[in-house]
Amino acid sequence: MRCPFCKEMDSRVVDSRSAEDGNTIRRRRECISCGKRFTTYETVEQIPLMVIKNDGRRVLFDSNKILTGLVRSCDKRDISMESIIKLSNEIEKEIRNTMEREVSSKKIGELVMEKLRHFDDVAYIRFASVYRKFADITSFKEELEELLKAKGK
C-alpha cells in the first residue's frame, strides 16, 4: 500500500479490526520510510448488479433507493432508523445472495413488500399504495383485507 504522505510503497499493518457489521476490515498502517500512520479499508469486491426497469432499461443497483422507500413508508412511525437500515441491509443481502447479475425492479419491489409485511403493517400499506399504484379505494381495501387475513393465520 502506497503511503499517502511520502508515496513510498512499503508499509506495515499495525492493527486490523472489523468494521461495518463485519463487511469491512479497517487496517492501521505505518509507513516503513517516513513512519507516519494511515488507515485503509478492505472490502469484498461486489459484482455490479443491474436492475431491469419496467420499460426495459438497465440501471446500476442503488441500495439508497430501497432505504429511501423504507424511510418514507415508516415516516412518523415509532421505528428507529437503526432498524430501518437493518431491514434495508437484509433486503440488499437477499438480492445479492441470488448471485444473479440482473434483477427486475418488480422482484425488488415484491421483496420489499414481503419484508415490510412482517416488519410494520402501516409501513407495508404505505409502500403498497405507492408500489401497486392503487387506482381507487376498492383496491386499497382489498390489500388491507389481504393483510388482515394473513395476520389472522
Measured N-to-C along each axis, helices 63-73 and 81-96 cross at an angle, to the nearest 10 degrees, of 140
Is residue 82 predicted with pLDDT exceeding 90? Answer: yes
- Choose between 106 and 20: higher pLDDT: 106
Where exactly are the structural domains of the chain? 11-43, 50-152
Euclidean distance between CA atoms 58 and 53, whole angstroms: 6
Is residue 84 predicted with pLDDT exceeding 80? Answer: yes
What are the backbone angles phi and psi of residue 74, rounded to the nearest 5°?
Answer: -95, 5
Is residue 39 predicted with pLDDT exceeding 90? Answer: yes
For the segment 103-153, what is each residue's pLDDT rounded down to a tens digit? 999 999 999 999 998 999 899 888 988 887 777 788 778 888 888 888 775
Beta-carbon contacts of residue 71 (< 8 Å; ≥ 6 apart)? 81, 84
Contact of 114 with 71, CB cutoff 8 Å:
no
Is residue 60 predicted with pLDDT exceeding 90? Answer: yes
- pLDDT at residue 51, as a whole number: 96
The arithmetic mean of pLDDT across residues 51-65, rounded, is: 95
- pLDDT at residue 56, as a whole number: 94
Cell numbers 421505528: residue: 79
The arithmetic mean of pLDDT across residues 79-91, rounded, is: 94
- pLDDT at residue 141, as a whole number: 82
